[in-house]
Chains A and B, each alone.
Chain A
Amino acid sequence: MKEKFDAIVIGAGPAGCACGYTLARAGMQVLVVERGKFAGAKNMWGGAFYGPTLGDLIPNFWEEAPFERYIACHRFSALSKDSCLSAEFTTPKFSEPPYNGVTILRSKFDRWFATKVEEMGAIVATGLEAEELIWDGNFIAGIEASGDELPASVIVSCEGVNSVIAEKAGIKNKSKARDVKQGIKEVIALPRETINQRFNLTGNEGIAWEFIGSFTRGLPGGGFIYSNKDSLSVGIVVQLNALAEKQVKANDILEDFKAHPYITRLIDGGKLLEYSAHLVPVSGINVMPKLYRDGFLVTGDAAGFVVGTGLILEGANFAVASGIAAAETVIRAKQKEDFSESSLAYYQELLEKSFILKDLKTFKEAPHFLENPRIYSLYPDLACDLAEKLLTNDGKPRKKVWKHLREATSNKVSLFQIAWELLKAVKTI
């Protein structure tokens, strides 16, 4: 009889590492399996981690974790064909630890996080894939990996958006294309001083910059630029079904984004270091699977714990928090020696109490709201058009805002509709 683990965690991303770390700290026998050659080898994202979750787990993590820059500045821009209208927020508070947000390159960061998990006493097995589940009646009793049977009291799926094991566990179906967005990204090297100059940053200040506009050709999605230490993360996120239905490739959208005169000069002279792609589950609680069954828990992206409102797109903090909640559930189940579905239902309780399910419920309507195509093309164009009209001096008598607004919107959309959708936005996000 092989050694039986208290828990096997599938995937060494933020959810899996947080789960493994918490379990090992409590003295549990934990195995974290990671299919990549090292933790982070298969992982990419836009670029930022927000909130106190990680600092709660590893106090002062920023002193040792390989993060890139703290986010001192948030900028939001609407792009029309050749114009740009922006809003920016910055406060000295964002520049003080514990930082509100930090930019991170996952390949470095996940590797560090996995090392912390090992230091805590868990086994992190890289280059090992959970291929099948082992069943004992209704119970999930272990995994098969590289031909070995590995028994465990609980399996925690932290496998991310392509959650093939959670599907095999029978608690969720394959995602639908309208419930995921495709993110693609280029990491572009630029000298640190150049980044600081171009983005008005000093020292280790960073920027998180989100864009909407006609470059997505009306498809639900947007662009982003995050500043790393010596590189920029430049990418787009677009609804997957829309790409297929409109027969557009994400890379063409990315190229249009990069070719915008305002973006071109920001990345000018940069050298491409990497091109990556990933899916983001964006339908949140509307398609949330069952989160537990006998001997099984599901966390992070695999559970669809992502909140996107257009202003924010967060998932990693949900991954970490749900990984911790899963670990606490396993620790409690171990004390009772009861790993049945009813015992693991404690996980749901923890999630209901935390920001995870609260946020997902608060922004329940956001995914549907964000399907409105006017947000991605008509409104950014109108905003830029209006700004141009207001600011251009062409020697003719000036008009008031209201008159310009009437002219800019005529034949396109009624002012009543704009007001209605603005109200809906304020109420939804």
Chain B
Amino acid sequence: MNIDKGVSDRQGGGPAARLPADGGSKARSGLGQRGPGSPIEFRLDPASGVPTYLQLVHQVEHALRLGYLKPGDQLPKVRDVVALLAINPNTVLKAYKELETKGLAAGRPGQGTFVQATLSQVALPELTALRRSLLGWLTAADGAGLDEDGIVALFASALRDFHERRGGPADRGAGGETEHIA
């Protein structure tokens, strides 16, 4: 039988028919079928204890900060995220709604969700330069005998000093997921 014909027939068949049109060529991985892409792809960390929709939100924000995502870029389509991660579509929708509430993304009917604002304060070339000088500093710290925990502690402490000297609000930094309610 002609399978590809079956697929294309279905595609003309109505709004519910949205099987990928490349028939058997993708075989099992056809489940991970991707549209014309988004610059990023999601992953899940089951051990993090962070709710799934928040993990997606954080990953978009992270990508915005680092310049992987720019205004106008498309976020992964809901269907693609569902296929890739086997998560509930409502979870993806909730994450995108949260990003819309934050003003970072906007839905376009029939097309998907697109980045609307940026979180990165500096452009990609500057980021690259800053990263390079940070790597130099890390090499020096490593040479002086600091281990990773020591480096993180020193950086956090220096950042705190920096904020205090500027008199700005002491940034709480990337806090843990624990809520302390007192």
A associates with B: no
